[in-house]
Amino acid sequence: MKKTKKERQKLLIDTIKDQPFITDEKLAQNFDVSIQTIRLDRMELGIPELRERIKSVATSNWNETVKALPIDEVIGEIIDLELDYRAISILDITAEHVFSRNKIARGHHLFAQANSLAVAVINDELALTANAMIKFTRQVVEGERVIAKANVKKNEAKNRTVVEVISNVDNEIVFKGEFEMYRSNEKEGIVNENSN
CB–CB of 75/82 below 8 Å?
A: no
- What 3-state class would DSSP assign to 193? coil
* Nearest to 140, CA basis, from 75, 71, 92: 92
> Is residue 192 a part of any domain in this protein?
no
Alpha-carbon span 66 to 124, nearest angstrom: 9
More confident residue, 192 or 79: 79
- Last residue in a domain, options 56, 79, 94: 56
- pTM surpassing 0.85? no
Q: What is the CATH number of the domain that holds 117?
A: 3.10.129.10
DSSP string across 13-68: HHHHHH-TT--HHHHHHHHTS-HHHHHHHHHHHTPPPHHHHHHHHHHHHB-S---S
Which tens digit of pLDDT belongs to each residue from 97-139?
999 999 999 999 999 999 999 999 988 888 899 999 999 999 9
> Is residue 194 a part of any domain in this protein?
no
Q: What are phi and psi of 35, to 5 degrees?
A: -60, -40
What is the structure's pLDDT at 73? 80
% pLDDT > 90, the chain: 41
Q: Are residues 130 and 48 in the same domain?
A: no
- Last residue in a domain, options 25, 41, 56: 56
CB–CB of 161/152 below 8 Å?
A: yes
CB–CB of 99/109 below 8 Å?
A: no
Q: Are residues 66 and 142 in the same domain?
A: yes
> Is residue 23 a part of any domain in this protein?
yes
Q: What is the CATH number of the domain that holds 46?
A: 1.10.10.10
Alpha-carbon span 6 to 41, nearest angstrom: 10
Q: Are residues 153 and 95 in the same domain?
A: yes
Q: Are residues 50 and 100 in the same domain?
A: no
Which tens digit of pLDDT belongs to each residue from 39-88?
899 888 888 887 777 666 554 444 456 676 776 788 988 888 888 888 99
- Cβ neighbours around 167 below 10 Å, total: 26
Q: Are residues 25 and 114 in the same domain?
A: no
> Given the DSSP bridges, would you call strands 172-183 and 145-154 parallel, antiparallel or unpaired?
unpaired
> Is residue 107 a part of any domain in this protein?
yes
Alpha-carbon span 45 to 62, nearest angstrom: 26
Q: Are residues 102 and 44 in the same domain?
A: no
Q: Are residues 130 and 90 in the same domain?
A: yes
How many domains, the chain?
2
Q: Are residues 89 and 48 in the same domain?
A: no
> Is residue 191 a part of any domain in this protein?
no
What is the structure's pLDDT at 157? 65
- The secondary element (H helix, E strand) that includes residue 83 is none
Q: Are residues 50 and 95 in the same domain?
A: no
Q: Are residues 89 and 177 in the same domain?
A: yes
> Is residue 106 a part of any domain in this protein?
yes
End-to-end CA gap in the chain: 39
- Cβ neighbours around 189 below 10 Å, total: 7
Tell me which amino acid residue 10 is: K
> Is residue 189 a part of any domain in this protein?
no
Q: Are residues 135 and 159 in the same domain?
A: yes
What is the structure's pLDDT at 99? 96
Q: Domain range holding 177? A: 62-183
